[in-house]
Amino acid sequence: MFKIENSAVERRFDKELLRVEAWGKGLRVRATERSGFLPDDFGTLLPKASQENPSALLPKDSLKNSDELLPKDAADCPQSACDPGVKIWLKDNEAYITNHKITCRILDNGELKFYRAAEADDISADAGRLLLEEYNRTRNMFVSSSHFESALEILSRTFDPIQSADDYRLTVRFEANEDEKIFGMGQYQQPYLDLKGCIIELAQRNSQSSVPFMLSSRGYGLLWNNPAIGQVTFGKNLTEWVAESTKQMDYWITAGDTPEEIEEAYADVTGKVPMMPSYGLGFWQCKLRYQTQEEILEVARRYKKENIPLDVIVVDYFHWPHQGDWDFDKDYWPDPEAMVRELKEMGITLMISIWPTVEEGSENYLKMVEEGGLVRTEYGKRTAVLGDAAVVDVTSPAGKRIMWETIKKNYYDRGIRLFWLDEAEPELTGYEYKHYRYFAGPDMEIGNMYPREYARMAYDGMKEAGQENIVNLLRCAWAGSQRYGALVWSGDIDSSFKSLRNQLRAGLNMGLAGIPWWTTDIGGFHGGDIRSEAFKEVLIRWFEFGCFCPVMRLHGFRAPFKEPLGTTGGGKQPSGAENEIWSYGEEVFEICKKYIALREKLRPYTESLMKEAHEKGTPVIRPLFYDFPGEVSRAAVPTAPGITWDIDDEFMFGPHVLVAPILYENQREREVYLPEGRWININTRKVYEGGSTYTVPAPIEAIPVFVKEAHTDIFF
């Protein structure tokens, strides 16, 4: 029934081939019922990578496995046949595989159970703590397993065939644990940090990023390594993962003693961000939309005149003649080289917005059609979010090549090294996933990987041109996007305190999902009126929060709106009101200047956090439990998580700074829990003993921020 091969164990039974394999410091678990995947003889491996669903995992031969060895050589797996740190053995018609700190037990009926690897003096799974087990409610006459018997006939893994196709609707079920808390999974517009009890759509949308890695308070992390449209339910009675159209089951699981250990193991197998360039550490100025070259230069000149540090300024969308030209409209941007040069002399980096859309009137449209570089539709005409435009297929070699070659000629060769890769979901009409098809396969099967491949398009081109420390801004991500320099922002969100609360939880979960570079539109995108006193309060509190985000970026579509400058090309789109820090009156101006100066003060510390993200995959911002997880039990039943696992309105900016943002209107004080240790309030310099909750002042010009007593040099 089982075959042991190098660092993997396979089980063949009827239609299903199951493979559990050591991968990094975890286990990759795959299964298929697809006829083309079933081998002629039992020893044949699963198909080559080119035949599989696209993976978020790095190739196994590029990973360094753990050099830890459990004692005792299993007789069924001579050490010479296994990777270092891997043990495989058979016992009572069951198979076991241990790698690093996780053990998988494969029952004789194919059911899977995952354990914290046993202590060094005992190799049996029974000595480890049960972390996760499949949900199986069946009776099986073919095996003698002692698993729970049920007349319900609900399998843990269900492959429902899609008629007239070679894909399946896949459902994978796990037992739920009432004491469990679940984090990560990407960015969702909801007020929950702990996702236990939530239904999560596995699909990309404007302001929603599906990055399907979950971190559990029970001491494990799981990556759903499948880019298909689907859903996961973290229910009270059941955890259920669904891929609507796929050829195989594929996930990766690891275990660790701390969230940090789990997160770093995940980063090892999916990749880490490059090193953030110096211009990523300061303040970024943006609005929808600067309409002319002279307008954006005037803004930059005023920042320089006011002696306010500015690292990046942004040219937003519709600066082009047609979507898909990827070039400046010379009527409004007559001399891009001079613009880049003047900004550089002021110490400011220019970022250019790019959309993956191509109008029929674009000079690149026919070439894209001829070479198959556009997203296809199952029926009818290709359409995108704005106007009569199609979407570039970034899974197509031709689509990627034509797009990058044009970007390089019209932007990169003019000195532009920073791009805003907008519409990264992509924003297809109505998100009708069943209607679209890529070079790599149907949207329903591979669609969630689009933002990763979009980031990769620019990253590969920039790297080939010799650039290092690459970063580009995107509105969406999938697992692995981080290794292609993706800085993700939270999309076109509402300008309100409710939205601000959602962004805090979204940013923390994005970091735990493996995307350490994250930001928001400070002040939100929709609904802000620069004349409104209520909005000014939202903006102030958001600006204070933004100072402690991985990237501090002001953006928005503010009212009152401005009329278009013309009827063609880059002149036909409207603009929002002014969105510079002096646009909101003297009080707002002074507070914003204070926090920009504070961000500058933090530059050495922020750079150290970016280095840690680059080297280890560490989130720049993270929940309190990341740095203060409490004791992790090795007992058969884990202890309940400590208080830090319940706090969702504070966060750590690196290991030494605790931030308690103001998330409600008219709030001028708030309760703050401080973990163990001694903490200094940077606003009052008052010393607090950790392990307690305090009520602290929060005047409009300051949010509560605390630094560990031993690291006050960060601020003072």
Q: Which residues of 618-632 are buried (b: 16+ CB within 10 A; e: fewer)?
A: bbbbbbbbbbbbbeb
Question: What is the 3-state secondary structure of 384-426?
Answer: CCCCCEEEECCCCHHHHHHHHHHHHHHCHHHCCCEEEECCCCC
User: Cβ atoms within 10 A of the Cβ of 716, count?
Assistant: 9
**Peptide bond connecting 426 to the previous residue in cis, omega within 30 degrees of 0:** yes
59: buried, middle or exposed (CB in 10 Å: 19+, 13-18, 0-12)?
A: exposed
CA 597 to chain centre: 29
- Cα separation, 339 vs 349, in Å, equals 11
Our separate counts of H helices and E strands in the chain read 12, 39
3-class secondary structure, 604: helix
Q: Which residues are catalytic?
A: 422, 425, 492
The answer to whether 326 touches 365, Cβ cutoff 8 Å, is no
Phi, psi of 121 (to 5 degrees): -95, 10
Please tell me the distance from the alpha carbon of residue 639 to that of residue 470, in angstroms, as a whole number. Answer: 42
CB distance 551 to 284 below 8 Å: yes
Distances (CA, A) of 691 to 246, 260, 445, 639, 672: 48, 21, 48, 19, 11
Q: Tell me how far CA of residue 401 lies from CA of 367, 397, 455, 480, 632, in angstroms.
A: 11, 6, 13, 21, 49
Which 3 state secondary structure label does DSSP give 706? strand
For residues 243-261, one letter each, b for 16 or more C-beta atoms within 10 angstroms of the residue's C-beta and e for the rest, the string is bbbbbbbbbbbbbbeebbb
How do strand 16-23 and strand 26-32 relate by DSSP bridges?
A: antiparallel
Q: Give the sign of the dihedral formed by CA 198, CA 202, CA 203, CA 206.
A: positive
Task: Quote the CA–CA distance of 617 and 23 in Å, as a whole number.
Answer: 17
Q: Please list, residue by residue across 552-570, b when 16 or more beta carbons sit within 10 angstroms of its beta carbon and e when fewer do.
A: bbbbbbbbeeeeebeeebb
209, containing H or E segment: strand 209-216
Q: Which residue spans within 565-677 are E strands per DSSP?
A: 621-622, 651-653, 657-659, 669-674
Q: Provide φ and ψ at 475, rounded to 5°.
A: -95, 5
Neighbouring residues of 504: CB distance < 8 A, sequence distance ≥ 6:
545, 648, 649, 651, 661, 663
Structure token pair of residue 259: 């969230």
Determine what percent of the chain falls in helix, strand and coil, rounding each to the nearest 5: 25, 25, 45
Residue type, 3: K
* R_g over Cα of the chain: 26
Among 43, 52, 45, 180, smallest CA distance to 449 is for 52
Per this entry, what is the length of the chain? 716
| Residue type (1 letter), 528 | G
